[in-house]
Amino acid sequence: MARRLPAASQIVFNQKRIFIFPTGYGFFYLLVAALLFIGGINYENNLILALSFLMASLFLVAILHTFRNLSALGLRNGTAESGFSGEEGALEVVLFAEQRAHHCIWLRWPGQDAQQVSVLAGEEESLWLNLPLASRGKVTAPRLKVESRFPLGLLRTWSYATLDHYCLAWPRPQESADCPADGGKHNQRAFSSGQPGNDEFQGLRRYVPGDSLRKIDWKGYARGRGLNTKLFDEPVGGRLWLRWDKLDGMGDEQRLSILCHWVLELD
């Protein structure tokens, strides 16, 4: 399947990519038409025979229209909404119809609920599909199933599309009381004075009566970490660096999660 339907940033469905098969309702419809035909021959009733021929003709016409409803429909990549690992991102799929309208098109990833959209001739429609971010890093789009039963529901036509699209899964933030920070160029801080200032975040310490209420870590207090005061320094042309090597004894994923937490806290 992957060799027949390779990944691409834009896909247009043609006869080589489309499958079609009767639905359960379609098989029942054919059974009724066959029984009417047999009954018409058995009882030599031309009206019943005409009805069976009409039903068979409608089925043949439905094959053509159901196939055409998916044929020439185009898909292409849209934008992406990234997120943290363990949550959900979202990918935008843009549907376009250059030749004719396409009605009641269903799209879904494996294991996800289907979403319906219709596209008028010469127009585009965007659809956002949620994508589970199971692990950190680049999460590529799985194979997308595109399906339709328009117009009568007698047949089901479907195809698969693998879009060259992806979401980024950032490390899941993990709270930590100690900030693994270092500052200044080349991981060294230079201070204009040894007194705490208001520019660069240095870390946290336990609250002491008399500390400014503006410097209290209220977010941490709301999360049950106790009452702490934020410490700030005045750097001279320096930066605040988060140090990987200050998180010794931890796995890589845990280090990344803690660093991600502090990036968000200090932003």
- Alpha-carbon distance of 37 to 53, in angstroms, equals 8
Q: Per-residue b/e over 73-89, b at no fewer than 16 CB within 10 Å? A: bbbbbbebebbbbeeeb
pLDDT reported for residue 217: 82
Domains and CATH numbers, the chain: 10-170 (2.60.40.10), 181-266 (no CATH)
Tokens 């979401």 correspond to 167
More confident residue, 213 or 238: 213
pTM of the model: 0.70
pLDDT winner (highest mean) among 60-64, 212-216, 246-250: 60-64
- What sign for the dihedral angle of Cα 8, 13, 18, 22? positive
Helix (H, G, I), strand (E, B) or coil at 164: coil
Average pLDDT, the chain: 85
Question: Using an 8 Å Cβ cutoff, are 141 and 166 in contact?
Answer: yes
The region that residue 151 occupies, defined by phi over 0 for left and psi between -120 and 50 for alpha, beta otherwise, is: alpha
The lowest-confidence range among 64-73, 153-162, 189-198 is 189-198
Residue spans of alpha helices (H) in 44-153 = 46-70
- Alpha-carbon distance of 57 to 61, in angstroms, equals 6
- Alpha-carbon distance of 133 to 83, in angstroms, equals 7
Where does the pLDDT of residue 186 fall: very low under 50, low under 70, confident under 90, or very high at 90 and above?
very low
